[in-house]
Amino acid sequence: MARKSYKKSRDGCKECKRRHVKCDETRPRCIKCTFSDRQCVYSIPALSRSSSALSSFTHDASSTDQSPTSVALSQPRPAASPEGNTSVLSPVAVQAATSCLASDVNMLHLELFYHYERETCLTVCWNSAHIDIYRRTIIRLAFQRSFLMEAILALSSLHLSLKRPQSCEFYRATATALQSSALEGFRSIFPHDVDRSNVLDVLLFQHVIALHVFCDTFSIIDDDYTQFMDRLISCIRLLRGIDSVTQDWWDFLWQSEIGIIMQTSHIHQHNTEYQSRGECNRLRELISFADMSPTSIAICTESLSRLQSFLDAENALGEAVKESTNMIFSWLISAQPEFVDLLESRRPEALALLASYAVILHRRRGSWVIGDSGRKLLKHINAYLGNRWQEWLSWPTSVISSDEMSPEMLSK
């Protein structure tokens, strides 16, 4: 019987050629090597025959900020050789392209990236213009900064751990590993090498990491209140350090792509047309007569004034932000170091302010990052302080208790 003939595969992988089988030429791994779990490597000449596609890619990449790989691929091409064989790729480009094609596609990372772009980024802000920054701008920058890419993949994995409870441990472990790698990469440039070229990356990284670490911290609030408070203090200190750098670039960031978010937040926090409800007035009176040093009283009073401004902004926005994390952690991140010290030493007056902040968390309980953390935080502070401090906690207790007794909450 005559042997069935096949069209010769000129650009097939080396493994298929060695085995004398037809290669389907799928890159970076052909189907046969994928199913047989063999090493799939394509020869360098095959890259030359794809020069038109690569040059098209590098032309597009040159119009935006370039990664090291795209820079290598966009190097000038050498002239044709005397023999007439056009060698269209430089050795640097060949090495970069071969390295990219030799690595396996990580399907888990693709899944996390897809989930972030389709779902997770929608939960960060309440305004479509703001969402676009966390869907387009941050992704564009993440392709240039690996620590930023790892941070958004980590947040996506954390989100999936709640959406897929049957695989919760797997996605949480993945989120932790990616977050650790992101922080390690970030520390290589922070805080000494922050400049105009990367300060936007730093600010976006700060927000993504803040969502992650606070979500992680609030998830253990039921286990051990002391451990929770220690973790919360560590989170605040970590994020305060990043925030201090972005403050130095405030004017530059105000005019940048994310300026619209900063400007909107500023407008809502300084809206003179909206009359404050004065929820913190009674607490301010109690602090003025507290058994503390004048310095500590001044610190708590200033922190309380800023908390009231955030409450006013929350009241003005109303239902629009109930499921978003927009501005939710700003009060903690921008806290004075001295106030964080008071929290760390478990000063009752500082904890009373934190209990009032729990109301903001409670109003955002529709967000997957926050959940029921507001109610749980108030419950633990109540138990820690005891009956003597009930007057200090009367407002947050009445607000959260009334929600718990509402028909909507009782039906859950």
d(CA 15, CA 42) in angstroms, rounded, equals 9
Rg (CA), the chain: 27
Residue 276 has pLDDT above 70, yes or no: yes
DSSP SS3 for 332: helix
Instruction: Average the pLDDT over each of 9-13, 152-156, 204-208 and give the range with the smallest value.
Output: 9-13
Query: Three-state DSSP class for 96?
Result: helix
The first and second tokens of residue 83, run together, are: 């023999």
pLDDT over threshold 50, residue 57 = no
pLDDT at 252: 86
Checking phi first, is residue 41 left (phi over 0); if not, alpha (psi -120 to 50) or beta? beta
Provide the mean pLDDT of the chain: 78
| pLDDT of 101 higher than 70 | no
Give me the residue label for tokens 């751990």: 161
CB 392 within 8 A of CB 348: yes
Spatial distance between the Cα atoms of 58 and 161, rounded to a whole number of angstroms: 37
- CB of 171 closer than 8 Å to CB of 111: no
DSSP H helices, 255-293, are 259-269, 281-288
Backbone CA torsion sign across 38, 44, 49, 53: positive
Instruction: Supply the pLDDT for residue 142.
Output: 94
Tokens found for residue 169: 């441990």
Q: Residue 141, Cβ neighbours under 10 Å: how many?
A: 19
Task: Kindly report, residue by residue over 304-347, the tens digit of the pLDDT.
Answer: 999 998 898 888 877 777 877 877 888 888 889 999 999 999 99
